[in-house]
Amino acid sequence: MDFFAGPSREVTIICAAYALGCFSPGYYLVRLCSGKDIRTIDSRSTGSTNVGRVLGRRGYIVTLLADSAKGAIALWAAVHFGLSTWGTIGVMIAVVTGHIWPAHLGFHGGKGLATTLGALIVFDYPLALIVGSIAMAGPLLGLGTASFLAAAVISPAVAAVLGRPEVEVAGLGILVLLLLIAHRDNIRAFLAERRGGKGLQA
Determine the average pLDDT of the residues in 181-188: 83
Residue 202 lies in a domain: no
How do residues 106-164 score in pLDDT, each as one tens digit?
999 999 999 999 999 999 999 999 888 887 776 555 556 677 788 888 899 999 999 99
As a whole number, the mean pLDDT across the chain is: 88
Q: Count the Cβ atoms, other than its own, within 10 Å of residue 106.
A: 9
Residue 75: give the domain boundaries. Answer: 6-196
Q: How far apart are alpha carbons 149 and 160 in whole angstroms?
A: 18
Residue 1 lies in a domain: no
Q: Which of 170, 180, 182 is nearest to 90 (CA)?
A: 170
* Statement: residue 27 has pLDDT above 90: yes
Alpha helices in 39-124 (DSSP H): 48-80, 85-100, 113-123
* Residue 1 pLDDT class (50, 70, 90 cuts): very low
Q: How far apart are alpha carbons 113 and 20 in whole angstroms?
A: 16
How do residues 172-182 score in pLDDT, each as one tens digit?
999 999 999 99
How do residues 79-121 score in pLDDT, each as one tens digit?
999 999 999 999 999 999 999 999 999 999 999 999 999 999 9
Residue 14 lies in a domain: yes
Residue 48 lies in a domain: yes
Residue 13 lies in a domain: yes
Residue 201 lies in a domain: no
3-state DSSP helix/strand/coil % of the chain, to nearest 5: 75, 0, 20
Alpha-carbon separation of residue 113 from 8, 20, 119 (angstroms): 29, 16, 10
